[in-house]
Homo-oligomer: A and B are copies of this chain.
Amino acid sequence: MRFTAQQIASFLNGEIIGNADVEVDSFSKIEEGRPHSLTFLSNPKYTPHIYETKADIVLVNNDFFAEKEISATLIKVPDAYAALTLLLRMVNDIVNPPREGIERPCHIAESAKTGDNVYIGAFAYLGENCQIGDNVQIYPQTYIGNNVKIGDNTIIYAGAKIYKDCVIGQNCIIHSGAVVGADGFGFSPQEGVYHKIPQLGNVVLEDDVEVGANTTIDRAVMGSTIVRKGVKLDNLIQIAHNCEIGSNTVMAAQAGIAGSTKIGESCVLGGQVGIGGHITIGSKTQIGAQSGIISNTKPGSEVMGSPAIPLKSFFKSSIIMPKLPDMYRQIGMLEKEIEELKKQLNSDKDRDEGLSCK
């Protein structure tokens, strides 16, 4: 699959500077540019590389002007990064066409209903009364429990597991190893022994949700654990029972959300963040990596630390951390000095008083 600079510029409505006939067959980073590859320049930090890159085509912003000669062909566009994304999608549509057809053996319960143009991979399992939408791709070794509904155009990658009764929206992507709908962690302790509380709810993923590899989303004890439209979850994340994750919220890998917590819309959680149970996170909250949240946050908060405090405060305090031993010593010395000063002052006073009695 090769494209000329001319073809790409036409596709992107861009302006060519240099050889319009040069061909590329792959992408590369500007600092690792290879012949026959296309790259892009968006972050000004990388500008020096454009004069040395061996890539044959570079997408640049309209406001880029070369200060020296550049061997690559440039294609000027309003937003080089957005243009790259468009190109990646175009190539993706070519190299990753949707799969279709049913590979055997697979297990499809008689009561299961499947839409048009579905792919069902070998060794996949579809339980009773499943409803699978049009153009859904269910990769091999996937488990779809009884009564599960999956919306149109959703992709379930190899080996993902969806427990019974869960509902998956349209245009979702669920990666390998993800587990949706396992029992919430609910027990009632009686005389030191933990008795299981049956988890009779389900999980609902709305449209356009992406669930990373080996991420787990537990079913509710009653009602639903809900992941709203447009949420993106990275790998190895834990969402406990009865949580609700607001639309367009994104979480980096290994974050963990305890039970019944509600996260607002458009929040951003860093990697390895932990949020306690029964907490409300305001919309547009930004939480730094590895933070621990033990109380509600207001909309628009930026917090970090464990327990989390305002972001700026966290970094200011962090800078002081290595100085703690010195501070401790200094306080001890100050105490001694003050003790000394007091003594001195008192003895001076005594003497002065002596003086004044003279």
CB of A321 within 8 A of chain B? yes
CB of A103 within 8 A of chain B? yes
**Main secondary structure on chain A at its contact with chain B?**
mixed
Find chain B residues with CB under 8 A from A331 CB: 327, 330-331, 334
Report 30 cross-chain contacts, Cβ distance below 8 Å, ordered by A residue. Answer: A27-B222, A85-B197, A88-B200, A88-B222, A91-B200, A95-B200, A107-B122, A107-B140, A139-B143, A141-B143, A143-B158, A157-B182, A182-B235, A185-B253, A192-B248, A193-B248, A196-B210, A240-B253, A254-B256, A256-B271, A289-B292, A316-B324, A317-B325, A321-B324, A323-B328, A334-B338, A338-B338, A352-B352, A355-B355, A355-B356
Q: Are A328 and B320 in contact, CB atoms less than 8 angstroms apart? A: yes
Find chain B residues with CB under 8 A from A320 CB: 324-325, 327-328
CB of A213 within 8 A of chain B? yes
Task: Report the separation of the CA atoms of residues A240 and B212 in the bound assembly, to the nearest whole angstrom.
Answer: 11
Question: Apart from A91-B200, A196-B210, what are 5 other A-B pairs with CB-CB below 8 Å?
Answer: A192-B248, A235-B238, A256-B271, A258-B289, A334-B334
Q: Are B292 and A195 in contact, CB atoms less than 8 angstroms apart? A: no
Task: Report the separation of the CA atoms of residues A240 and B264 in the bound assembly, to the nearest whole angstrom.
Answer: 26
Binding site for B on A (CB under 8 A): 26-29, 32, 81-82, 85, 88-89, 91-92, 95-96, 103, 105, 107, 121-123, 125, 139-141, 143, 145, 157-159, 161, 163, 173, 175-177, 179, 182-183, 185, 187-188, 192-198, 200, 210, 212-214, 216, 218, 221-223, 230, 232, 234-236, 238, 240, 248, 250, 252-254, 256, 258, 266, 271-272, 274, 276, 289-290, 292, 294, 305-307, 309-310, 313-314, 316-325, 327-328, 330-331, 334-335, 337-338, 341-342, 344-345, 348-349, 351-352, 355-356
Chain B nearest CB: distance from A179 CB in Å? 4
Q: Are A185 and B234 in contact, CB atoms less than 8 angstroms apart? A: yes
Find chain B residues with CB under 8 A from A32 CB: 223
Chain B nearest CB: distance from A315 CB in Å? 8
Q: Are A175 and B183 in contact, CB atoms less than 8 angstroms apart? A: yes
Task: Report the separation of the CA atoms of residues A355 and B313 in the bound assembly, to the nearest whole angstrom.
Answer: 51
Chain B nearest CB: distance from A196 CB in Å? 7
Chain B nearest CB: distance from A157 CB in Å? 7
Find chain B residues with CB under 8 A from A322 CB: 309-310, 313-314, 317
Chain B nearest CB: distance from A164 CB in Å? 8
Find chain B residues with CB under 8 A from A103 CB: 107
Knowing A161-B158, A235-B216, A236-B236, the reply to whether A290 touches B274 (Cβ < 8 A) is yes
Q: Are A253 and B271 in contact, CB atoms less than 8 angstroms apart? A: no
4 closest Cβ contacts across the A-B interface?
A92-B198, A143-B158, A27-B222, A179-B213
Chain B nearest CB: distance from A189 CB in Å? 8
Q: Are B125 and A140 in contact, CB atoms less than 8 angstroms apart? A: yes
Chain B nearest CB: distance from A110 CB in Å? 13
Task: Report the separation of the CA atoms of residues A313 and B81 in the bound assembly, to the nearest whole angstrom.
Answer: 42
**A158, A266, A330, A341, most chain B CB atoms within 10 A:** A158
> Nearest chain-B residue to A274 (Cβ)?
B272
Find chain B residues with CB under 8 A from A325 CB: 316-317, 319-320
Find chain B residues with CB under 8 A from A183 CB: 173, 175, 210
